[in-house]
Amino acid sequence: MANISVTHTFSNGTTADASQVNTNFTDIINGTSDGTKDLSISALTCAGNVSMNGNVTLGNASGDDITFTGSLASNLPIKTDGSYDIGSTSLGLDICYFGDGGGNTVGVDCPAIASNFIFTLPAFTCTMPASDGADGDYMETNASGVLSFVGGPSIDSYTTTQTITTAQKNVSVTTSSGWTLTLYAASGNAGRTVTIFKTSSDNNILTIDGNGSETINGATTFPISLQYEKVTLLCDGSNWVVLEHYIPTVVVFGAGNGGESITSAVTDITWTEVTDSHAAWNGTQFTAPKAGYYQVSGICRTTSATNYGLTSYIGGSASLLLEDDGASTVTTHFQGVEYLEHGEVFSIRTDANVTLASSTASHTLHIILLHP
């Protein structure tokens, strides 16, 4: 736009009538009020309120500084949705403060970042936590936009009947006697996991129970009984599935004996303990520390050649014929697989009276848990 101009020009020594003067004044008034002319002022101070009607441009170059010393007392309406930015790819704000109308404010600061990013909020209300949380905590939503801090990696330890909550991620248990650990309700918790592990050396059962009628791999409960046995469970929103199940090796190795006399179908054969991973062997009997299939193998040596067979016994009742080749011998090799429930007692007996030969090389016993 052009600068303001007047119709009549006056010079020294000339006379102007009132109409010419009035016309020039009208030109100036119109030029400053109708928006058709530019008014250029190098410095302007206005004492009092100022209203600017029409389009207003502040500055004509990026180097022009605009300084606010007063306080904002209105909204900042945007003319076109999604069309304007505050700042640029190289220059941004430091901290933005938001208030609740009651004198409480929160500042949103941008940490050091390696590159530019755009953070887009979807159409929902997000409620931030009222506290800072603790070191290592992470933030989660309740599916309604309310955020809260949840404890980071930690271990919760229990020794007796307990119902865990969503805050427990890693659970350590000891079992001086058997007890039940109940999981939180699966509804609304799809995707959550919990790891449960046992640290005590006893072979008592920890029973993991789903909430109400909820199942674990289709069963109502899931037992663990071995020291350092561990299970990681995943919630699918209705029930639980086993993601990982670590079962420590169960192994017994015996060699030699005290030269005991064995009565047919009555006396349990003796093997002197060499290795017993879970305190399950007492010299003559094996008490299953966990339900499962066990492989049993070894050699029985007697002082004289005798025709005898070997039979496994569970709870004092004959179960499985391990060996009976019908020949007289001093060494009899045997092997078999037995399924034992937790706590069932397993032993081996002869079907003839014999006397054991104390030989660590040719009187041996191996018991290994194959799988539960």
Whole-model pTM: value is 0.63
**Beta strands 273-276; 251-255: pairing state:** antiparallel
Q: Considering the chain, what percentage of its residues have pLDDT values greater than 70?
A: 93
pLDDT at 145: 77
Which fold would CATH assign to domain 251-371? Answer: Jelly Rolls (2.60.120)
Domain 156-246 sits in CATH 2.60.120: yes
pLDDT tens string 309-366: 999 999 999 999 999 888 899 999 999 999 999 999 999 999 999 999 988 889 999 9
Locate 363 and state its tokens: 């009187």
Mean pLDDT over residues 39-43, rounded?
Answer: 73
How far is it, in rounded angstroms, from Cα 313 to Cα 320? 7
Q: What is the DSSP string of 334-347?
A: EEEEEEE-TT-EEE
Q: Look at residue 21 and give its three-state secondary structure.
A: helix
Written as one letter, the residue type at 140 is: E
DSSP string, 350-368: ESS-EEB---TTTSEEEEE
Report in angstroms the alpha-carbon separations of 215 from 183, 194, 339.
10, 15, 24
250 within 8 A of 290, measured Cβ to Cβ: yes
Give tens-digit pLDDT for 89-138.
788 888 888 888 888 887 777 666 555 545 556 666 778 787 778 887 88
Distance CA 28, CA 37 (A): 10
Q: Return the domain boundaries, the chain.
A: 156-246, 251-371
Give residues with Cβ within 8 angstroms of 244, minimum separation 6. 230, 231, 232
Matching residue, tokens 């399924």: 339
- Torsion-angle region of 166 (φ positive above 0: left; ψ -120 to 50: alpha; else: beta): alpha
Q: What is the dihedral of CA 347, 350, 353, 358, to 10 degrees?
A: -70
> Which residues have C-beta within 8 Å of that of residue 82, sequence separation ≥ 6?
none
